[in-house]
């Protein structure tokens, strides 16, 4: 399906979000949008509009009745016959699914991963420590979030399998800003997950697994309002979690270390006062939001600033730009550990409204344990070569290579 045709509007910036110019200068592009007094953009490439202002994004995202997710979070119109999950459904289906995920994703559940994450991070550091250098992105930022998700699913994977999933996931996320084939990303792990689900069902039926053993056994055994999940929905959840929870957290981890190594005064402040670690994580999410933005469509004719929108127009909510809105965050591009953490938490890196990220507490746990281990175990940490940006998935803003060295 194609949406209504959009068009350039005088005074509204034209941006090609897939262009090299945008990828190299996105922060300046966002700051120009804020400074120009018209925080909206149009993209002829892909045919959509975008909103950069914090206030307008928040106002739209709390109106799920008006701003729908039914065509999916990407630029493409997810066909109605494709059963989406969570970010691709509206209430009442969303309410049911969010309750189900909310039931599984308790604080106790997320906290139960702490010892395993700590051991994983320390094991990876042990393996490279004597070398005095590594690509921290490859060594830790990439494998950790994927390992955590597979722990949730109750399955270990081998490194080659993980690498294949990672490449495929990035390809899928890369499609989100493409007009066709761009609904929920195709997931490379589909066959793996289907086999694992069948095996988990068999083990449960044979009494070899407990209903609360892992996320899959929970999804299979859960019942809300007399309704159980179909295999199709469970696979949809797992596929979505794999994508939503891994590439994003990977980006956060590398951005965090990169941000600290490139602002030495703030790094020194953090070293001197470890209680600033949670603030450093939030401030990094704010300044370097891992996801540029995701889409909604309007159910009725809508006026948004200078935009007159026909129903079902794709509009990108620019989480990264809203988190740099100077009306909410003074001197927004400055990474500053003197800010008030409650104010910083108004960032939009995890979205806003009913679709706000359900895995945010887990990514914060991963970031905290990762950063503490890096601070504790890698003295004299410094950059050690060219930092390569991640450009394979333009919807993400992050790093693909982070060479670092430390004193041995
Ligand atoms: C730094 C890491 C992460 C970032 C930046 C991030 C970002 C986001 C954003 C922007 C949304 C909103 C989507 C929308 O409104 O259309 C979202 C939703 C979601 N995220 Fe995350 N995410 C992260 C980590 C995770 C993790 C680790 C998980 C789970 C393991 C997860 C699970 C979810 C789920 C289930 C939703 C859908 C909520 C709904 O539609 O009700 N995320 N995330």
Q: Each residue of 203-229: pLDDT tens digit?
A: 999 999 998 899 999 999 988 888 888
Tell me, yes or no, whether 67 lies in a domain: yes
Q: Work out the pLDDT band at 125, boundaries 50, 70, 90.
A: very high
- The highest-confidence range among 50-54, 165-169, 171-175, by mean pLDDT, is 50-54
Residue 1: inside a domain, yes or no? no
* Atom number, ligand 1, closest to the C-alpha of residue 148: 30
Residue of minimum CA distance from atom 12 in ligand 1: 351
For position 285, what pLDDT does the model report?
A: 98
In the reported structure, the alpha carbon of residue 46 is separated from the centroid of ligand 1 by a whole-number distance in angstroms of 24
Q: Mutate which of 359, 367, 368 to test ligand 1's pocket (most atoms within 8 Å of Cβ)?
A: 359
Say if 109 falls within a structural domain.
yes
Report the C-alpha gap between 9 and 177 in whole angstroms.
21
Q: Is 146 in the pocket of ligand 1 (CB under 6 A)?
A: no
- 5 is a domain residue: no
| Domain-embedded: residue 277 | yes
110 or 166: whose pLDDT is higher?
110
Cα 245 to ligand 1 centre (Å): 7
- What's the predicted TM-score (pTM) here? 0.95
> By percentage, how much of the chain surpasses pLDDT 70?
98
Number of structural domains (the chain) is: 1
Q: Is the CB of 241 under 6 A from ligand 1?
A: yes
With 60 as the cut, is the pLDDT of residue 89 above it? Answer: yes
Through-space distance between the first and last CA atoms of the chain, rounded to whole angstroms: 58
Q: What is the DSSP string of 361-401?
A: HHHHHHHHHHHHHHHHH-TT-EE-SPPEEE-SSTTB-EEEE
* pLDDT reading at 311 higher than 90: yes
Q: Quick check: 341 and 278 in contact, CB under 8 A?
A: yes
Q: Please indicate, yes or no, if residue 30 is contained in any of the structural domains.
A: no
- Which CATH number is 322's domain given? 1.10.630.10
Query: So what's the pLDDT on residue 181?
Result: 55
Q: Taking 90 as the threshold, does the pLDDT of residue 318 lie above it? A: yes
Closest protein CA for atom 32 of ligand 1 = 359
Q: Is residue 7 part of a domain?
A: no
At residue 183, the pLDDT reads 52
- Would you state the pLDDT for residue 158? 76
Q: Whose CA is nearest to atom 24 of ligand 1?
A: 245
Domain containing 273 equals: 13-24+36-405
In a domain, 369, yes or no: yes
Average pLDDT, the chain: 92
**CA of 237, closest atom in ligand 1:** 35
Say whether pLDDT at 346 is over 60: yes
| Token pair for 113 | 């991963």
Q: Which ligand 1 atom lies nearest to the CA of residue 89?
A: 40
Q: Identify the band that residue 13 occupies on the pLDDT scale cut at 50, 70 and 90.
A: very high
Establish whether residue 355 lines the binding site of ligand 1, counting it when its CB lies within 6 angstroms of any ligand atom: yes
Other Cβ atoms within 10 Å of 128 Cβ, number: 17
CB 316 within 8 A of CB 48: yes
- For the record, the structure tokens of 148 come out as 């955590």
Q: Which of 9-18, 183-192, 206-215 comes out lowest in average pLDDT? A: 183-192
Q: Is the pLDDT of residue 253 over 80?
A: yes
Based on the number of CB atoms within 10 Å of its own CB, is 391 exposed (0-12), middle (13-18) or buried (19 or more)? middle
């Amino acid at each position: 399906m194609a949406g209504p045709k959009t068009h350039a509007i005088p005074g509204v910036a034209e941006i090609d979000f897939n262009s090299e110019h945008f990828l190299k200068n996105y922060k300046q592009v966002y700051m120009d949008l804020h400074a120009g007094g018209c925080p909206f953009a149009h993209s002829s490439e892909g045919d959509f509009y975008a909103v950069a202002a914090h206030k307008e994004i928040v106002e739209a995202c709390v109106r799920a009745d008006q701003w729908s997710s039914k065509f999916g979070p990407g630029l493409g119109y997810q066909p109605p016959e494709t059963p989406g999950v969570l970010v691709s459904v509206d209430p009442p289906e969303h309410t049911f699914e969010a309750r189900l995920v909310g039931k599984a994703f308790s604080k106790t559940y997320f906290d139960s991963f702490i010892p395993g994450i700590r051991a994983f991070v320390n094991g990876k550091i042990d393996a490279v420590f004597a070398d005095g250098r590594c690509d921290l992105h490859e060594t830790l930022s990439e494998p950790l979030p994927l390992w955590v998700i597979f722990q949730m699913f109750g399955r270990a994977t081998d490194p080659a399998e993980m690498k294949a999933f990672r490449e495929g996931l990035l390809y899928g996320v890369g499609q989100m800003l493409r007009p066709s084939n761009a609904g929920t990303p195709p997931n490379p792990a589909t066959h793996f997950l289907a086999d694992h689900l069948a095996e988990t069902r068999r083990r449960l039926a044979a009494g070899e697994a407990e209903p609360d053993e892992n996320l899959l056994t929970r999804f299979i055994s859960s019942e809300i309002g007399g309704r159980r999940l179909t295999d199709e929905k469970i696979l949809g959840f797992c596929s979505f979690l794999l994508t939503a929870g891994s590439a994003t957290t990977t980006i956060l981890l590398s951005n965090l270390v990169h941000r600290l190594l490139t602002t030495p005064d703030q790094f020194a402040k953090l070293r001197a006062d470890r209680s600033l670690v949670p603030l450093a994580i939030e401030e990094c999410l704010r300044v370097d939001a891992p996801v540029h933005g995701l889409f909604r469509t309007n159910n009725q004719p809508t006026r948004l600033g200078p935009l007159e929108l026909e129903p079902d127009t794709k509009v990108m909510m620019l989480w990264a730009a809203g988190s740099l809105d100077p009306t909410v965050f003074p001197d927004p591009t400055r990474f500053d550990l003197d800010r008030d953490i409650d104010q910083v938490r108004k960032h939009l890196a995890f979205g806003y409204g009913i679709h706000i990220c359900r895995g945010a507490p887990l990514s914060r746990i991963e970031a905290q344990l990762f950063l503490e281990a890096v601070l504790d175990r890698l003295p004299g940490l410094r950059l050690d070569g060219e930092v390569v940006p991640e450009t394979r998935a333009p919807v993400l803003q992050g790093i693909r290579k982070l060479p670092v060295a430390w004193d041995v």
